[in-house]
Amino acid sequence: MRRILQPFRWFWHVLWTPAGTLGLGFLTLGGFVGGVVFWGAFNTALEFTNTEGFCISCHEMRDNVYEEMSHTVHYSNRSGVRAGCPACHVPHDWTDKIARKMQASKEVWGSIFGTIDTRQEFLEHRLVMAKREWARLKANDSLECRNCHSAIAMDLGRQAPRAAEIHTKYLLSGERTCIECHQGIAHELPDMTGVDPGWTVPPELQGEVLPGMTEAEEVRSYLGQLP
């Protein structure tokens, strides 16, 4: 029995033998507690930077894109569900969120050095910034859009015929992704002169009269009265 307990006694002795001035056990425990504190502080800071208040703390965002978004259906609608800045620009999964935060560090750099400090500078850089964001969303299959919108959960029967047909043929099949058709959904578009729109109405849906709701159906849909 003594031989069995001897290794454990040796380990316990080594664990608490002073290493210079502090015991190894104390250093291990201190390292663990320090790691927990660091991890908690890191995640707290991460979540703080993931709030709308933080996003619009600089006037470049508050006076430009946020002001535009406040006049769209993403900000105010009949259901009362509002999408804030992080909902559309930051993925929910932790690893994707960290990657996005690293990308967003460029925005902090731009704010410090006043890249878009004035409205005119913002408008001059708008197309470049928009193209960068469209390309990012296209590359990740509109991951942030899917924070709230799920193709599986779509009730196609409540959509306009053209929208239902396009979603069925292109979205559900994975041939296209959200951002290709919904650019400018929450912010004003830049000057698109000479810019490839990225997606156009397919030939089978083109014509003088496009399928869609009648005026009466649009009113009923707005009032939430369609079945």
Asked whether residue 205 is domain-assigned, the answer is no
- Among the residue ranges 28-32, 40-44, 171-175, 220-224, the one predicted with the least confidence is 220-224
Query: What is the residue range of 153's domain?
Result: 32-192
Q: Locate 102 and state its tokens.
A: 């690293």
Asked whether residue 5 is domain-assigned, the answer is no
Asked whether residue 22 is domain-assigned, the answer is no
Q: Which residue in 185, 101, 106, 187 sits closest to 148, CA to CA?
A: 185
- Provide the annotated binding site for heme: 55, 58, 61, 85, 88-89, 107, 145, 148-149, 178, 181-182, 187
Compute the distance between CA of residue 160 and CA of residue 74 in angstroms, rounded to an integer: 19
CATH of the domain at 39: 1.10.3820
* pLDDT tier at 186, thresholds 50, 70, 90: confident
Let me know: does 119 contact 61? Beta carbons within 8 Å. Answer: no
- Provide the annotated binding site: 55, 58, 61, 85, 88-89, 107, 145, 148-149, 178, 181-182, 187
Q: Is the pLDDT of residue 58 over 80?
A: yes
Return the pLDDT at 142: 92
Compute the distance between CA of residue 163 and CA of residue 211 in angstroms, rounded to an integer: 9
Asked whether residue 155 is domain-assigned, the answer is yes
Asked whether residue 119 is domain-assigned, the answer is yes
pTM, entire model: 0.68
Count CB atoms within 10 A of the CB of residue 115: 16
Return the pLDDT at 205: 61
Asked whether residue 3 is domain-assigned, the answer is no
If one counts the domains in the chain, the total is: 1
Return the pLDDT at 139: 92
Compute the distance between CA of residue 171 and CA of residue 184 in angstroms, rounded to an integer: 18
**Amino acid of residue 172:** L
Compute the distance between CA of residue 190 and CA of residue 186 in angstroms, rounded to an integer: 12
Q: Is the pLDDT of residue 200 over 70?
A: no
pLDDT digits (tens, 9 = 90+) for 106-162: 777 878 888 888 889 999 999 999 998 999 999 999 999 988 898 888 898 888 888
Asked whether residue 14 is domain-assigned, the answer is no
Q: Is the pLDDT of residue 220 over 70?
A: no
Return the pLDDT at 177: 92
